[in-house]
Every structure is written in structure tokens, then in C-alpha cells.
Amino acid sequence: MAARLPFIIELVQSALSRINLSINGWRAHNRREYIAVCGHFVDGQGHPRTLLLGFPRRYGGHTGDDLAALVKPVILQYGIGEKLGSFVMDNADDNDKCLEVLQRSFSSIDPVADRIRCIGHIINLVVKALLYGEGVSAWEKNLIESSEEQRVALWTLKGVIGKLHNLVVYINRNDARREQLRARMRVTKTSDGMLFVGVLLSDGGIRWNATFYMIERALKCRPAIDLYQAQWKPPDRNDKHKNDFLTEADWHELELFYRLLQPFERLTKRLQCRADGEGNEGSQGSVWQVLYAMDFLLTKLESVKDEIHAMDADNEDELPPYYSAGVLAAWSKINTYYELTDRSPIYRMAIALHPAYQFEYFRAKWWKREDWIRTAQKGLTAYYDRFAAVTVATDHVDQAETSPCSSPTLDDEFDAWGHTTDRPHRGKRRKVETEWEVWIKQVPSKDDMNVKNPLAWWVDRRHVWPILSKLALNIFSTPAMSAEPERVFSDGGELITDKRNGLGDDTVEAEMVQKSWITSKILHGIATPRGLYKLPD
């Protein structure tokens, strides 16, 4: 690691963008806890990069102070204290405190504006509210601490989702019942008319995406499940299992849940893409998609919510009560987090700087709320002005340090001779507009509306928009969620096994960090200010 680290430090410090960090914690098989600190930036050649910067062991508690104490040495090791960008973390309050503590050492951090909430975590909370209703955390705690019989009873409180869970668990619990269901599959076709012989998928607790796949598989195998239920004979006259049999109304409700969950599942897959993936540069998995995705999902939930209220008003047949309550709980949850996006201007600036959307996105979406549009424009203008002031000041310092003063040459004098700058100015002075003021007046052209790679678009236009492009590179290299630490943890599970549970903490960190550098090919043929870097043997 010692041979490679200087080149990584040079790569990070020469980045065109600020260094955005995604941070998350993990408990290994040996019950030790680690923190993954991943960097996301645009390198000196204009390419987006993602790499693991640190994997320190967590010895202390889980407070914001404890987390800051682990992150600070990583920042210092790479010398990026003045180049820090956004911090992508989950919604825990301790993460807010972490940034407040780090700001004491690194003044460039804005604990509010630079705090990006992981969209994956937000979607998880929203869908849990949809599937399990309010108070899901307390219910989950009870579930973990309960016996098998008590868990069955707790799941019955969760409507049709609980019934399906109990049914699947019962069938999958032993091979005899699994074979009984497979026998029914052999004589029936799936809901789409195909022959399928397999097993039902369990949700494995309350992981919502697993619940989605459990519902999807159950709907596919409905004919076989219906036949299984019709032919089931209770063992030892114990027919409690019948309480979890699915009725026609239950199947209808599962269809409603499945249709509503589909956009959540598709968006989660898109948002967890690496923004530096080939062909995805800044287009998938970037922070610009957060507000866009929340707008989309909020619209879906509001459509069902309006349908619920309309049915109540017209005394029509109601939607299933459990489903309706879940929709209202999910709508309330996503609204809570939508309001939290107001704290950071980055979410709105990300859409405003996307060539395909620009500020016209807000004019179109919020056309009924001129006050929202004015507030957004005012906030983004203030954010740009602060960024521009710091950028211009930094550029002047860099130029003073790197460029020797020079006196005008004869060529300069000749080129300037025909200009009339020395003539007394007549008429009114025209106000010089900032780059942002020019940009915000624009609407996307036909070509702009087809832009899929906003980061590359801005890299190509750095000389046209020297200040705005720097802001854009910062933003479009910021991930939408802390998915990269999760990928790191998957690698960690392969490294720290039952047979290798005695590895020292320094060894674990060195192996994890270097594996990230090598597998991402970040060390192969990197162009740095010193020249082309090739991987040491």
C-alpha cells in the first residue's frame, strides 16, 4: 500500500471537482465493526472516479463524535481538507452531528448544505411505511425478540402482507410441503400461462425489496397456491394455518401492492448504479436523480391517495383498508423527507444544471406555485454566489502562486490598439450578468433534451462556463445513495471469513483499500501531473 498511496493522493488532490464522500458502517462476521469512507470525484482528465479511501475499525460508540474521529484521519491522510464536497450518509441524526464536529477541523464543510441523505435509505423507510404501517421500528424490535409462535401472531397484525409471509414460511419450512406445492405447479400454469416449477420466495424478515419479490413470485404461482390451499389437510387437526390462506380479496390487494411497488423497485436499481460506470457518467446514480425520483414517487402515492379520498366522498367501494392505510403512511413519510431536501440547495441545483432539464423543470412542475419557484431561484442564486466568490478567490491565489507576472508585449499593444476602451463611455452601463443569471434564463434546446451524460457535457464546456462547470462537476460526481460502501462490505464479507477472522485491523484496511483501487482499475495508466502511472509490482 505504501508504494501506491502517493499516487492515489496525487490523483485525488489534482481532481477537477471537490471530493465527495459516502460513508457507512458495517459489522463483520467476527463481530468487529468498520467504517467505509468512499471518495467520488472527477479526476484531472475529466473522468469520474470512485474509490475506497479508508476502512477504519470502529472501537467506540455510534455517536457523531465517534464517527467524526474515524473520518478525520482519512481526510488528513489524503490532504483533501480544502477540497471536500458533499457527504452522502443515511438519515441518522448522529450523521448530522458528525459533520458539525468535522467542520471544526475543516472550515470548508457546510454541515447543512453538504449533507446529502441517501435516497436508498429514504425509499426503504417509505416502502416500509407502505407495507407495514406506522411504528414499524417498534414492531420490528418485537419481531426479533419473539419466539416462532409469537412471530406468527405478530405477522397477522400486518394484513395481507402478514398472511402471505406466514403462508410462505409455513410451506417453505419443510421439504414435504415444498414438494406438495411443486406437485401443484406441475399440473397448473402460472398467471402468465407458462409452466413453472420452483419455490416460493421468502421476504427474510422485513427487507422491503425481498417482500416485493415474495409478492411477485406468489402472484406468478397463484394457480398452484390456490390448488394447494383447496387440497390442504390439517395435520393433527391443527388448522391454524388456514387463517393465512389467501382469498380472492387478498389476491386483489397483493396486486395493488405489487403495482405500486414496481416503480420503487425499478428506481432503486437505477439509483444504486455507479455514477462513474462506463456509459453512466453522471446519468445514473447521481444526486440529480434524488429530487426527480422523489417527485415521481410522490406523484404515484398522491394519485392513489386522491383515489382513496374520492371513494370516501362518493361512498363507493373502498380500496382495501390495510392497503389504504399503508399508502397514507408512505405518503406522509416521503413528504417528511421531501421537506428535508429544502435544507440543502444541492438537490435543486443538480436538476437546474442538468442540460436536459435546467431550471425550466421547476417552472413546469411548480407552475401553480409561483412562490415555490421564486424561493428556489432565490436560494440557488445565493448558493451560486457563495460558490463563485470562493472559486474566484481560490483561482486568484492559484494563479498568483503558479503564474509569474508579465508585462504587456508589443503584440498585446498592437491587438488592443483598435479597441475603444479609453473612449469616454456614452450611455447607460449594462449590468454584467453572472454565469448563473445567464444560465437560468435558458430553456433546454432539442439537443440538450437528449443529453444523457450531464457530467461529460459540462466537462466539454468548462471554457464556456468556467465557474458554473466547476459547480456542475462537483454535483454530478456526487452519488444519490451510499451504495458504494455496501459494495465494499460485500467484499469485506469475502475477506473476513470464519477461517480468516484473526486478521489485524491494519491488514484488513490495507487489503480492502487496495482491492478497491485494483478492481476499479484506477491505478492502471492513470495520468497524473507527474506523468503516466503504472501499477507497481
Q: Render 86-145 in DSSP notation, one character per residue.
A: EEEE-S-HHHHHHHHHHHTT-TT--TTTTEEEPHHHHHHHHHHHHHH-TTHHHHHHHHHH
Higher-pLDDT residue of 62 and 350 is 350
What pLDDT, on the 0 to 100 scale, is given for residue 411?
47
DSSP letter for 392, please: H
What pLDDT, on the 0 to 100 scale, is given for residue 340?
92
Higher-pLDDT residue of 410 and 328 is 328
* Contact (Cβ atoms closer than 8 angstroms) between residue 252 and residue 240: no
CA-atom Rg of the chain in angstroms: 28
Q: What is the pLDDT of residues 28-67, one digit of tens each?
A: 887 889 999 999 999 999 999 999 999 999 988 889 999 9
**Domains in the chain, CATH or no CATH each:** 5-118+482-533 (3.30.420), 124-262 (no CATH)
Listed residue (282, 273, 278, 280) closest to 41, CA to CA: 282
Q: 3-state DSSP call for residue 533?
A: strand
Phi, psi of 475 (to 5 degrees): -75, -45
Strand partners, 41: 49
DSSP letter for 17, please: S
Least confident of 35-39, 223-227, 417-421, 503-507: 417-421
- What whole-number percentage of the chain has pLDDT above 70? 85
* Contact (Cβ atoms closer than 8 angstroms) between residue 454 and residue 353: yes
Phi, psi of 300 (to 5 degrees): -60, -45
Q: Render 298-343 in DSSP notation, one character per residue.
A: HHHHHHHHHHHHHHHHHT-PPPPHHHHHHHHHHHHHHHHHHHHGGG
Distance CA 34, CA 25 (A): 6
Distance CA 57, CA 175 (A): 42
Listed residue (395, 359, 364) closest to 377, CA to CA: 359
* Contact (Cβ atoms closer than 8 angstroms) between residue 42 and residue 494: no
